[in-house]
Structure 1
Amino acid sequence: MPKYRPNVFKHKVTVLSRSSKGGRFKRKDVPLKDLFSSGPSDTQQKPQEIQHEISVAPCTSSTFSVNVEEEAVNTRKYAAKKIKQCNAWVGKRLLLENAFFESSAPHLPCCSCGTDEGDRVLCLDCGPQVVRCIDCTMSYHEDSNHLHKPQLILDGILQPFPLKPYLRRVDHDCDSRSRKTIQVFDEKGRLHNCWLVTCSCEEECASLVRLNLWPASPDQPRVAFHMDLMNLLHFLLLEGHMSLKGACQSLGCRNGLPLHEVNLLYLNLVSECFEEYRYFRYRCHNLNAVLDEDIKCPACPKENGDLFVSLDANFGLVRKRSSGVSYTDAKHKSLLFAPQEDVDHFVNVYDDHNISNDCSNFQAGDVLRAKNKTKKLDTTGVFGASCRHGFPLSFLNLRHGERLAYAAFTIDCILEKAQPSVKLHVIYDIACTLTAHFKKKKDKKLELDMALPVFHAYGHKMACQVAYSTRWRCGYGLTDGEVMERLWSYLRRFSSITKEMTPAHREDLLTDALLHYSRRKRADIGSSLVLLMDRAVRVKEDSSKALEEI
């Protein structure tokens, strides 16, 4: 916010004036008061450029002064509030520091038995100022709270208090029990050495899941992770776009973990363990054994009505050829991404050459786009579609530039899933070119209603804007067709992670990200539809008033 200056009319502004000879522009500094002075004599003395500005946007000096004074008053109030708040924090610094250090090693009796003799053990995982004697600490952490890190208080100094708890099922007991040592990472990423009690009645990995632990390997695991830790890593990846290595390093800095524990945590997570947990979490939270409607938009028509779909390509989500190969298929298979073999076959046999592109000034749809720029890339980007509410529908990996074959394949996939009674409206950056292409091929998709997104329409000539812009076509209302740009703004931030992945891991991560994006959209769709409805009503009222005034 600008600073308040009492005499604002002392400032000068630069005015461009054209000279009579040669027509060149000259700069001239003019006092600001000359722009807002009143009276015929002042108006006659003003340059022509200044008079033009005044005629276009008239403003009096009194109105301008009132606005500046109001803004200055608000600035002073905000500054005084901020200064008062900062000074209040400064006055409490020493008090807060003393309270923190005094509570770090409190001299309190045992909170369980009340004794005041012997050594004390502080357990911050149990709660603040929770102090117990050694016997009560051992008893309390024997059957529950196994993954706590209590600390022994000796002469005001905190030292580690070693525990090796037993991890066992309380609902099952048999004669074939045995125990083994297992390393467990708790929800903070700290390493624990524990006894795991197992039996021949059940696999060890299943027993760990019952204990809210995720095994690092499916057979005879030696390392396990607390599921709260796995959930934290899951959301750091999907919401914070943080790589697995970066998340492990952040946990190490946050909890003061030694380097070897951080490296051990990362090495065990990166070996298919984390990818499998994400798929496990998806199936459990979405009840995939019962339901399959988790990725569908609840607001779009399912049987009758108009379905509005936006298409677009993103060339930031690439994959390097040197990033390895996949030894298994993607876990999500064709949930959102089309099988690459089907896409490659369709593109190779599809004829989309000799395309007329005289209506657009940008490179969308250029077949030659990737010849010299993508020699070291195995995947040049992602092509996708989403509904007007932002829910992902269908995606595929690009091998070339943004060819029309990819748009045709995506439309075929959407038509295959939609009911015949649903009318499809397609919004695409080069809808005019795609329409001409379908007309030349006499494709049945020519019957579809094609349109240009609102902002991309300005890259086309005026005839295309009038014919294809969503603001001109009937039935589109206030649909801008830019939902894919909003989706790309979220998805493209995974590019630094996915470009080094194998094809299957990359596809699974992008699918997980799209599923997470659709869950966010589903959670907000109620409030967003209300806001859109209010906006539509307001625009209709304003438009009606404007038409009545004409």
Structure 2
Amino acid sequence: SKKYLKVRINGRTRQLSGVGKTSVLKRSLTTAHVLESSGASVPDDCETVVNSHVDGPSTSGVHCDWEDVSPKNRPEILSAFLKAVEVGVCAQCLKVGSAYCPQCSAFFCDECVRTRHIGLVHSAYQNREPLDLSIKFACGCTPGSSLKVTLLDAFGGYHSAIIDACASCHCTEFLVARNYFPLSDRTSVFASFELLNSLDSIMIHGITSLSKACTILQNRRIVFGQRPNRDLYYDLRRNNTLGLYREFLAEVAQFPSVCTLCRSKDLGPILHGDALMGWRRRAAVGAEIFQDPLDADLPFPFARVDLSGQAIAPARGACPNWTAGETSYICRASSKLDVKGFFIVACRHGFIWSCSDVRTPGERLIYPTTLLRAAVQRLGVQEESVTFVYDVACKIGSKVKSKLAVPVFHAYGHESKCRLNNSIRVTSGTGITDGEICERIFSFLRPYGRILKEMRIDRRTRLIAHIIGMYHLRLDFESWLVSRDKLLSKKKYLIDQKVREVRQLVPQADFTYQQLLQLGEQWLREDAHAATQRTSDWLQKMRRLAVEKRQALNALNRCIGSHQSRLLTRKVDVLRTEMKKVLESSGSQYTLKELENASSAIYSRLDNHTIRPFPLAVQLAAIEIFTTSIRSTEEVQRVNAERDSLARFNSFRLPITEVCSNKSSDCSGSSSSEDELD
């Protein structure tokens, strides 16, 4: 018969067939507990019962049983566990304790449980039944009137308490000073600070609703047999207690209203704008009490965007490749939604200077222009000194006074004349910023969309401001500066690599580094000038349509399902119709069949650079050496100025009371090192 070896590994029983001593050693099973053997050669050191680690997935011939997790197979641990939760030693007098307090995590006898909890709002229980512990507070002044109130403990339990306070000691102020916050101005119910802090942390860091956060806390009471006698979620939601508590918390936390690294006045700040179209709100929520808040009621960093005026049309000569900001483009949006997105303007360090809800179907140019002015006003600088990075910056060229730039990732979607003149890599003073900081912020903000959709507009706005404030507290500028130093080292290595590539391509030229810088500057200027002289705008648009049509046809060949097939077929027909219109308006002699091929030689002239006696790879490498060198030099100046600004801020900074959890990189919204997209 076939030999087998039955062993126990990490609580699981495994049967290895056809194995011997050598194969067992190879599978790292030498310390496994041998349960049964059928003629197999068992190593001597297999008798020790320890948890072993198996490297890699299990091989063929290995059969696994269910993991043994039954408490009945561990009677010693089971008996000790039952004693730990049913009866123990009194923490006060070391007698047998039959009452357990989850907040104290200790047992008490019948006498000590009441003396130990004088003035404490704890939920002790005995024989799985809650104890009625008398709770009484006194101000310590002359005897006055007594007031009966309800207090909420850290687990969401309700307790009756008596407050003895004199005429000069107000009951609300007395309890707030002892870490109990009123649910509203009209009720005599007070919640502990620990409960509200726990709910806020669960909602912000767990990205969940208030209802689920209350359920999480109250489930801890249910485990110990204490059923909630009131609906905690209803009391908090009806009175908006957590929202009011967050406003008081902001006064203690001192959410920053300025960016530490933007304090330097030597170099103009770099601002980025973009919209997050996933943050929506259902219009029916709170429709009967909806009021548009006044400017003074908008929390930082919100700013008002006036949509009553005339729509801003794109600038003349802008790229036709993008529909964002087009007044003639009608985006289909549900009438059930009154908020379609969220627009922000942030600096390159990740600090949000201004933001607003997007209430129009689609992204309009009124949002970047208005929020840019609001951010510049809060910065306290001239608009001409600011560099504004926007995905379709070419469309707002004449609408703002700031210097405009297109992010690295979106630059390749623009026409060549726009890319060579507006890309952030060719815009002076931008350093090696890639312009995608808004996308990094959205990676942190996007998950909150599911809990913001069903909120009243006023509570929603304040919650967003609180989320942004918590995000600002976690910005680590020192780590950000370290990441810039690493990025500068990578750019220096890239420049050296490009120089070696050029020398390998044209060894007879023997270019020096300075010569490549001069050639790169000259060639970039010539290409940018040549791109502005081209009049083949219709050919640019035709190639874009041809590429989209080819992608739609490829997706149509791979799609599964009739619904998706109909959508793709309809898209192909729309693209073909649009290509016919462009061809008719151009008056060209080319046929539609020739232009439908995106790799046709007809489009080759769009990519041709100025004729030079060097290969195209050499020209591109020289231009990249020039742009990277110039931008790296600017980045060094910016980093030095930002480091000086941070040092001045740290020298004058006052200590701030820590009310939140420790910093965590997963909530910072921006990565420790900026990803390069070019």
Q: Normalized against structure 2, the TM-score is what?
A: 0.59
- Given the alignment, which residue of 484, 492, 495 partners 1:540? 492
**CA offset at residue 163 of structure 1?**
0.8
Call closer, same or farther: CA 1:459–1:196 in 2, change over 3 Å. farther
Call closer, same or farther: CA 1:452–1:97 in 2, change over 3 Å. farther
Which residue is equivalent to 2:367?
A: 406
Call closer, same or farther: CA 1:322–1:540 in 2, change over 3 Å. same
Q: How does 1:85-96 map to 2 (within 5 A)?
A: 94=74, 96=77
- Given the alignment, which residue of 159, 166, 170 partners 1:203? 170
- Given the alignment, which residue of 243, 249, 269 partners 1:275? 243
**Conserved in 2, the CA contact under 8 Å of 1:205 and 1:215?**
yes
1:502 is the counterpart of 2:428: no
1:308 is the counterpart of 2:308: no
1:248 is the counterpart of 2:214: yes
Which residue is equivalent to 2:5?
A: none
- Deviation track 1:120-143 (CA, whole Å, cap 9, x = no partner) reads 43334323xx33322222111114
Secondary structure of the residue aligned to 1:474 is coil
Q: How does 1:56-455 map to 2 (within 5 A)?
A: 79-80=54-55, 94=74, 96-108=77-89, 110-115=90-95, 120-127=98-105, 130-143=106-119, 146-152=120-126, 157-169=127-139, 172-180=140-148, 182-219=149-186, 221-256=187-222, 261=229, 263-286=231-254, 294-323=256-285, 324=287, 325-326=289-290, 329=293, 333-339=298-304, 343-344=305-306, 347-353=307-313, 359-368=319-328, 372-400=332-360, 401-420=362-381, 423-435=385-397, 438=398, 445-446=400-401, 448-455=402-409
Call closer, same or farther: CA 1:294–1:469 in 2, change over 3 Å. same
**CA offset at residue 495 of structure 1?**
2.2
CA distance in 2, matches of 1:402, 1:122: 58
Secondary structure of the residue aligned to 1:466 is helix
CA distance in 1, matches of 2:263, 2:91: 61
Q: Give the counterpart letter for 1:281 in structure 2.
A: L
Which residue is equivalent to 1:4?
A: none
Which residue is equivalent to 2:470?
A: 516
Q: Give the counterpart letter for 1:103 in structure 2.
A: A
**Conserved in 2, the CA contact under 8 Å of 1:360 and 1:459?**
no
Q: Give the counterpart letter for 1:395 in structure 2.
A: C
Call closer, same or farther: CA 1:82–1:126 in 2, change over 3 Å. farther
Gaps of 5+ in 1: 1-71, 287-292
Call closer, same or farther: CA 1:252–1:167 in 2, change over 3 Å. same
- Deviation track 1:124-170 (CA, whole Å, cap 9, x = no partner) reads 4323xx33322222111114xx1222233xxxx4443221211334x
Q: Give the counterpart letter for 2:150 in structure 1.
A: Q
Q: Give the counterpart letter for 1:147 in structure 2.
A: V
Percent identity (aligned): 26
CA distance in 1, matches of 2:429, 2:415: 22
Q: Give the counterpart letter for 2:110 in structure 1.
A: I
- Deviation track 1:159-188 (CA, whole Å, cap 9, x = no partner) reads 43221211334xx412323131x2222111
CA distance in 1, matches of 2:53, 2:424: 43
**CA offset at residue 389 of structure 1?**
0.8
**Conserved in 2, the CA contact under 8 Å of 1:309 and 1:385?**
yes
**Conserved in 2, the CA contact under 8 Å of 1:186 and 1:225?**
yes
Secondary structure of the residue aligned to 1:349 is coil
**Conserved in 2, the CA contact under 8 Å of 1:301 and 1:307?**
no
CA distance in 2, matches of 1:332, 1:517: 21
**Conserved in 2, the CA contact under 8 Å of 1:248 and 1:262?**
no
Which residue is equivalent to 1:29?
A: none
**CA offset at residue 218 of structure 1?**
1.6
Q: Give the counterpart letter for 2:394 in structure 1.
A: C
Q: Give the counterpart letter for 2:220 in structure 1.
A: R
**CA offset at residue 364 of structure 1?**
1.8
**Conserved in 1, the CA contact under 8 Å of 2:210 and 2:233?**
no
**Conserved in 2, the CA contact under 8 Å of 1:320 and 1:379?**
yes
CA distance in 2, matches of 1:328, 1:352: 23
**CA offset at residue 387 of structure 1?**
0.4
**CA offset at residue 248 of structure 1?**
1.2
**Conserved in 2, the CA contact under 8 Å of 1:303 and 1:419?**
no
CA distance in 2, matches of 1:534, 1:100: 52
**CA offset at residue 531 of structure 1?**
1.9
Call closer, same or farther: CA 1:503–1:300 in 2, change over 3 Å. same
**CA offset at residue 321 of structure 1?**
2.2
CA distance in 1, matches of 2:435, 2:81: 54
CA distance in 2, matches of 1:349, 1:540: 49
Gaps of 5+ in 2: 1-25, 29-51, 59-63, 503-678
CA distance in 2, matches of 1:218, 1:519: 30
Q: Give the counterpart letter for 1:376 in structure 2.
A: K
Which residue is equivalent to 1:49?
A: none
Call closer, same or farther: CA 1:414–1:131 in 2, change over 3 Å. closer
Which residue is equivalent to 1:40?
A: none
- Deviation track 1:336-364 (CA, whole Å, cap 9, x = no partner) reads 1113xxx22xx433452365586253432
Q: Give the counterpart letter for 2:457 in structure 1.
A: P
**Conserved in 2, the CA contact under 8 Å of 1:306 and 1:425?**
yes
- Deviation track 1:482-527 (CA, whole Å, cap 9, x = no partner) reads 1111222222322222222222112111111111111111xx2211
Q: How does 1:470-509 map to 2 (within 5 A)?
A: 470-509=424-463
CA distance in 2, matches of 1:123, 1:258: 12
Call closer, same or farther: CA 1:222–1:232 in 2, change over 3 Å. same
**Conserved in 1, the CA contact under 8 Å of 2:262 and 2:269?**
yes
Q: Give the counterpart letter for 1:273 in structure 2.
A: T
**Conserved in 2, the CA contact under 8 Å of 1:233 and 1:244?**
yes
- Deviation track 1:406-462 (CA, whole Å, cap 9, x = no partner) reads 221112212222334682010001011221xx1xxxx5x34x221111212222222
CA distance in 1, matches of 2:454, 2:328: 25
